[in-house]
């Protein structure tokens, strides 16, 4: 599946965001090895140097770590992973509320609509 990258922001930041998303969603499991830089770059259709920069930044943040000759792995720090998941959720919710307010919805209307739709979910 090709990655959907935009021209309005640096590519390496978007790669970082996608990899973070894949980690918190469970695509990449804690303690497991990430695909190689070349594999990820090929999958994302980006230059390997750009992918290397994104992975280096993720490593600097502690989300991934390197084993000298065997590649990069996902952290096993559950606290960090839960905090990241929470931060991503808050970001998405804030974006959602902003868009709903642009549509003219008031806070109470948004919450009411969410509750109504949640009842429909299986």
Residue 1's pLDDT is: 52
Long-range contacts of 54-57 (CB under 8 A, 24+ apart): 54/12, 54/13, 54/15, 54/16, 54/19, 55/19, 57/12, 57/16
Write the burial class of residue 48 (CB in 10 Å: 0-12 exposed, 13-18 middle, 19+ buried). Answer: middle
User: What phi-psi label fits residue 3: left (phi over 0), alpha (psi between -120 and 50 degrees) or beta?
Assistant: beta
Q: How high is the pLDDT of residue 122?
A: 72
Question: What is the dotted CATH code of the domain comprising 11-74?
Answer: 1.10.10.10
Residue-level pLDDT at 114: 93
pLDDT tens sequence for the chain (122 residues): 568 898 899 999 999 999 999 999 999 999 999 999 999 999 999 999 999 999 999 999 999 999 888 899 999 999 999 999 999 999 999 999 999 999 999 999 999 999 999 988 77
Could you tell me if 93 and 107 are in contact, meaning their C-beta atoms sit under 8 angstroms apart?
A: no
* pLDDT one-digit tens code per residue, 27-49: 999 999 999 999 999 999 999 99
């Amino acid at each position: 599946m090709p990655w959907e990258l935009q021209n309005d922001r640096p590519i390496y930041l978007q790669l970082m965001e996608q990899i973070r998303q894949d980690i918190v969603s469970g695509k990449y499991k804690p303690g497991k090895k990430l695909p190689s830089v070349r594999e990820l770059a090929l999958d994302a259709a980006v230059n390997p140097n750009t992918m290397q920069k994104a992975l280096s930044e993720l490593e600097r943040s502690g989300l991934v770590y390197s084993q000298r000759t065997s590649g990069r792995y996902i952290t096993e720090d559950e606290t960090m992973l839960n905090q990241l998941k929470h931060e991503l959720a808050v970001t998405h919710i804030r974006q959602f509320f902003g868009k709903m307010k642009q549509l003219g919805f008031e806070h109470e209307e948004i919450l009411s609509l969410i509750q109504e739709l949640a009842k429909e979910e299986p």
